[in-house]
Amino acid sequence: MRSITTRLILAFLLVGLSGSLLVTLVVWQSTRNQFDQFIARRQEETIINGLIRYYLRNGGWTGIDRALIEREISLGQNQPNEPDFQHEWSRFILADENQVVVYSNQPDQVSQQLYKRELNQATALNLNGKTIGWVLAVPVNQPRLPNSPEARFLQSVRGATLISAAIAVMLALLLGSVLAFTTTRSLRELTEATQAIARGQYGRQVTVHSQDELGKLAESFNQMSKELERATQTRRQMTADIAHDLRSPLSVIQGYTEALSDGKLEGTTEIYTILHQETQHLSHLVDDLRLLSLADAGELPLHPLSIQSALLLQRAYARHVYSAQQKGIELVMEVSESLPDIQVDVERMVQVLDNLIVNSLRYTQAGGKIILKAWQEGQDVYLQVKDTGQGIAEQDIPHVFDRFYRADQSRQDNGESGLGLAIAKSLVEAQGGMIEVESKPGEGAIFTIRFGLKT
């Protein structure tokens, strides 16, 4: 029994069957008890009415014992459908208005005073607002005749309860089947979708049929499938980009080395410089990929130290101020006073700032400006690199930190790896910080890093 649908149907059937049987037994027992009490009350009323008629006819209880023995109060003479008095009752005690027993089927109780317990169980015989006696009777549990009205009534009730139970079981089976099918429909679709993803059909979506736990599971699966498809596409694109970035310098190196090997070219300082630059480019690309892989695996070695934000910016400023001057770009610092120290890996943060400043230098024209800022807000310290360059298009902003993403495809052959901003994001997040970008085309870009102060 491997199917959840089958197990759910059987579970609903078992619950419906057991519930129906329990209800049937309770209804049947309750009906029998209520019916027996009804018969008992009817018999008691019959006896009381017969005794009151005797009292009216004789003016008292004198001779009641002889009349009962001789069955003079046989109600069957006037009402054939009523039960016979002595046939239906095995124990009968009659007391007068003074609670003295005048009749009992146990002779030793006659002329005795009723006990308080018996009096509490007895029924008063009232005539014209006056108590004329007390009667205490216990019904006999006699078997009913098969064709008696009582037996036919109970038989019809029993049949009705059994039919109701059968209908309830059928409804439980039907509703259970429908509910089991609808409940497991999402599971079947999820199973098919996961099998499709296992075959490489990424991005497979399932229909969300409800807002319960299964619906939430389906939504989570759809989100996971989208992310998996996006990650797969990114991986494929990244693989193609890596191949391209590796192929370009390798092609240059291969071309020159083949020409040198065949004697078509003679070695010159210029050729050797080109070969050295291309090998450096390959080395940097490999180093960047290794750094990102370590960051992804959470194995990037970090050595956090306490340092002032101003010192970090000063190191970055000193490293790039000459390059900025050569390009006609103004590089300035704006640092708030008395900033608290932050716990970071200094060399990694210098690498982050280098990447951001190099990115700004690349897209800022001569006469532009790059501002390095640091300030505190609440329990956070902010570092910022702001430029007045060409800015970033709105559709490219969500992807600027993606690996090998190039908003300008002309950058393919300018020696960039497309990993600088991705490395900056990975290094900042590995140290517990956050990095964001704001930009509008033609108004430059603002890269902001936030670190929470350690408490």
> Using one digit for the tens of pLDDT, what is the confidence trace for 9-31?
777 777 777 777 777 778 777 87
Share of the chain above pLDDT 70, in %: 86
The domain defined by 303-452 folds into Heat Shock Protein 90 (3.30.565)
pLDDT at 86 > cutoff 60: no
Pairing mode of beta strands 445-452, 369-377: unpaired
pLDDT, residue 85, reads 43
CA 93 – CA 112 distance, rounded (Å): 11
What is the average pLDDT across 37-50?
77
Which pLDDT belongs to residue 314? 92
Residue 91 pLDDT grade (very low, low, confident, very high; cuts 50, 70, 90): low
List the chain domain ranges.
226-296, 303-452
Residue-wise pLDDT for 122-175, tens only, equals 888 888 888 888 888 755 555 555 666 767 777 787 777 778 778 877 877 787
**CA dist., res. 242 & res. 285, Å (int):** 9
The set of long-range contacts for 247-256, using a CB threshold of 8 Å and a minimum separation of 24, is 248/413, 249/278, 249/279, 249/281, 249/282, 250/278, 250/282, 252/278, 253/278, 253/279
Q: What are phi and psi of 248, to 5 degrees?
A: -60, -55
Give the tokens for residue 103: 């009749």
> CA 93 to CA 411: how far, in whole Å?
116
Contact 21, 165 (CB under 8 A): yes
Reported as a pLDDT band with limits 50, 70 and 90, residue 376 is: very high
pLDDT at 79: 41
pLDDT digits (tens, 9 = 90+) for 314-365: 999 999 999 999 999 999 999 988 889 999 999 999 999 999 999 999 999 9
Confidence band, pLDDT 50/70/90 cuts, at residue 183: confident
Q: Which residue has the higher pLDDT, 72 or 262?
A: 262
Q: Minimal CA–CA distance to 323: which of 357, 274, 351?
A: 357
Task: Establish whether domains 226-296 and 303-452 are of one fold.
Answer: no
Which of the following CATH numbers is that of domain 226-296: 3.40.50.2300, 1.10.287.130, 3.30.465.10, 3.40.50.300? 1.10.287.130
**Beta bridge partner(s), residue 134:** 95, 124
Q: How far apart are CA 134 and CA 120, in angstroms?
A: 10
Among 255, 280, 317, residue whose Cα is nearest residue 415: 280
pLDDT band at 385 (very low <50, low <70, confident <90, very high): very high
Structure tokens of 308?
A: 């002032």
Q: Which of 249, 206, 243 is nearest to 224 (CA)?
A: 206
User: Long-range pairs for 79-82 at CB < 8 Å and ≥24 separation?
Assistant: 82/46
Interatomic CA distance for residues 114 and 377, integer angstroms: 95
The two structure tokens encoding residue 378: 């609440």
String of DSSP letters for 367-426:
T-EEEEEEEEETTEEEEEEEE-SS---GGGGGGTTSTT--SSGGGGGTT--S-HHHHHHH
- Least confident span in 9-23, 138-152, 205-219, 383-397: 138-152
Which contacts qualify for 323-329: CB closer than 8 Å, 24 or more apart? 323/361, 324/361, 324/370, 327/361, 327/364, 327/366, 328/366, 328/367, 329/361, 329/364, 329/365, 329/366, 329/367, 329/368, 329/369, 329/370
pLDDT above 90: residue 436:
yes
Which pair of tokens denotes residue 193? 């979708």
DSSP 77: G
